[in-house]
Structure 1
Amino acid sequence: MHLELKTDVTKSMADVWQGFNRDLFDRLSPPFPPVDVVRFDGCLKGDVVHLRLNFLVFRQDWVSQIVDQQTTEFEIYFVDQGTRLPFFLTYWHHRHRLLRNPSGGTCIIDDITFRTPFRLTDLLLYPVMWLLFAYRKPIYKRLFN
């Protein structure tokens, strides 16, 4: 399944990139499931992010590796690829894109591809994933406007 959400903010691409840090990561975590950050290296190639999701009666680890990061005059992006995923996911590829807006500001894009064990659960999980990432939009606007 493919999911893409875009958020326009007024800060420059460089300023937004500077804000992609552990503090932002903590703010972007949704209220459920609660997330414990076991490890957060950053957003550069080779970095690792290890989360522990708390579903109250059980916990699941989610480990992603930053497999790519590029900076150009018009775009900064990094890609986190799931290497150890919760039971309900079999594949995770999240490209975080910052695009320079020609009229000023930056467009933040969460470009996500995920799979579950079954096509039906892909379809059922899609609205949940959409809500979890739509939750980020007002946070991005509040921090980067």
Structure 2
Amino acid sequence: MKLTIQTPIAKNYKAVFTRFDLELFKKLKPPVVSLEVERFDGCKKGDEVHLIVSGKKWVSHITDFYQDDNEIYFIDCGVVTPAPIKSWTHIHKIKKTGENECVIIDDIDFSTGNSLMDKLLYPALLAMFSLRRPIYKRELS
């Protein structure tokens, strides 16, 4: 199932990307979730992120990184995900919309292996990722 959230930011897209670090990652944590970061390599291809999310292991590998004159993106793929999630791909895109403006796009594709369960999980994930919007604006503008 696909989930996409866009957040406009009043800053240059390259400057915004430099802030995608462990400090920002921790600030993006939803308030209802406990989070322990075991490993955070960064956002480039080959990097890994190892987490304990509400007591459950989550491991993502950064499988792609791209940068040009209009956008920067990286893709994290869940290789160990907590039930009920069986597959997870998250494209983090920062797209230039002006000299000092950009949009952050969280483009997520997930599956539990059951379409009904995907539909039930969708509103919770939408709510959790929507909570990132004011944090992005506060921390990155």
Residue of structure 2 in register with 1:7 after alignment: 7
CA deviations 1:92-141 (Å, max 9, x no partner) are 00000000013641100000000013111100000000001000000001
Residue of structure 2 in register with 1:74 after alignment: 70
2:108 pairs with 1:112: yes
AA matched with 1:84: V
Residue of structure 2 in register with 1:48 after alignment: 48
Aligned length: 141
AA matched with 1:65: H
2:114 pairs with 1:144: no
Q: Which runs of 4+ in 1 moved over 2 A?
A: none
User: What's the secondary structure of 1:33's corresponding residue?
Assistant: coil
Cα deviation, residue 78, structure 1: 0.1
Give the Cα separation in 2 of the matches to 1:102 and 1:20: 20
TM score, norm. by length of structure 1: 0.94
AA matched with 1:121: M
Cα deviation, residue 31, structure 1: 1.3
Structure 2 gap segments, 5+ residues each: none
CA deviations 1:68-113 (Å, max 9, x no partner) are 0000000100000000010110100000000001364110000000
AA matched with 1:31: P
CA deviations 1:50-72 (Å, max 9, x no partner) are 11012xxxx21010000000000
1:99 paired residue among 95, 114, 120: 95
Residue of structure 1 in register with 2:131 after alignment: 135
Residue of structure 1 in register with 2:16 after alignment: 16
The answer to whether the Cα contact below 8 Å between 2:38 and 2:52 also exists between their aligned partners in 1 is yes
User: What's the secondary structure of 2:98's corresponding residue?
Assistant: coil
Compute the RMSD of aligned alpha carbons: 0.9
AA matched with 1:77: Y
TM score, norm. by length of structure 2: 0.97
User: What's the secondary structure of 1:101's corresponding residue?
Assistant: strand
Structure 1 gap segments, 5+ residues each: none
1:85 paired residue among 81, 85, 100: 81
